Amino acid sequence: MNRPNHKILVVSGPSGVGKTTLCGHLLRLERRIKPGITATTRKPRPGEKDGRDYHFLTRTGFENGIRSKKFVEYTRLFGNYYGTPIESLNGVFKQGKYPLLRVDVRGARALKRKGFKGVYIFILPPDVKTLRQRLVKRQSQESLAEINKRLKRARAEMRYSRDYEFHVINDRIARAVGEMRQIVKKHLY
């Protein structure tokens, strides 16, 4: 599966930093990139669709996949599993495209350990105050305790940003997407 010419694009960053939004714009602009759909046991958020945003699995289904070694990486986060199915990467590679994976810092480390070459980008908020505001805006979907848990984890994850070759601050969407495109064009293709 992971041949030398198979490169991946990995995007990580704390919850609420805007990874989904930025990746959505990037995917519309860069036709050679295709999402590697990850799997999760969390419930879908409003507007999310199974097979497009994530493969939504039951806990039992996900754990069976772990035992069957169907994931190139997986982690447990906020009580839910998240992981990248091997099948998802293979499907993108077969199309001659570069998979874009949105994974946490542990997932990115696991991919690097397994020898996956490519571009690893860490998305940062302009500051912690802005990140908190973004998480509160999503509060209709999460409790205040959950937001505080995510902020604590965000601070820890941002310390791992030094493990990434590229960093993009999401202060303005158009600027951040433009920066991501420049990185991709210079270092992925």
Q: Is residue 177 part of a domain?
A: yes
Q: Is residue 2 part of a domain?
A: no
Burial class (CB in 10 A: 0-12, 13-18, 19+), 101: buried
C-beta neighbour count of 139 within 10 angstroms: 11
Q: Is residue 144 part of a domain?
A: yes
User: Mind spelling out the 3-state secondary structure of 84-119?
Assistant: EEHHHHHHHHHCCCEEEEECCHHHHHHHHHCCCCEE
Q: Which CATH number belongs to the domain containing residue 138 in this structure?
A: 3.40.50.300
Task: Check residue 149 and report its DSSP letter.
Answer: H
- Is the pTM for the entire model greater than 0.75? yes
**Residue 157 to residue 128: CA distance in whole angstroms:** 12
Domain that holds residue 55: 8-187
pLDDT band for position 5 (50/70/90)?
Answer: low
Q: Is residue 147 part of a domain?
A: yes
Q: Is residue 1 part of a domain?
A: no
Q: Is residue 174 part of a domain?
A: yes
85, 138 Cβ separation under 8 angstroms: no
In this structure, what token pair is assigned to residue 120?
Answer: 């690893």
88-138 residue pLDDT tens: 999 999 999 999 999 989 899 999 999 999 999 999 999 988 888 887 776
Q: Is residue 152 part of a domain?
A: yes
Number of independent structural domains in the chain? 1
What pLDDT score was predicted for residue 4?
A: 45
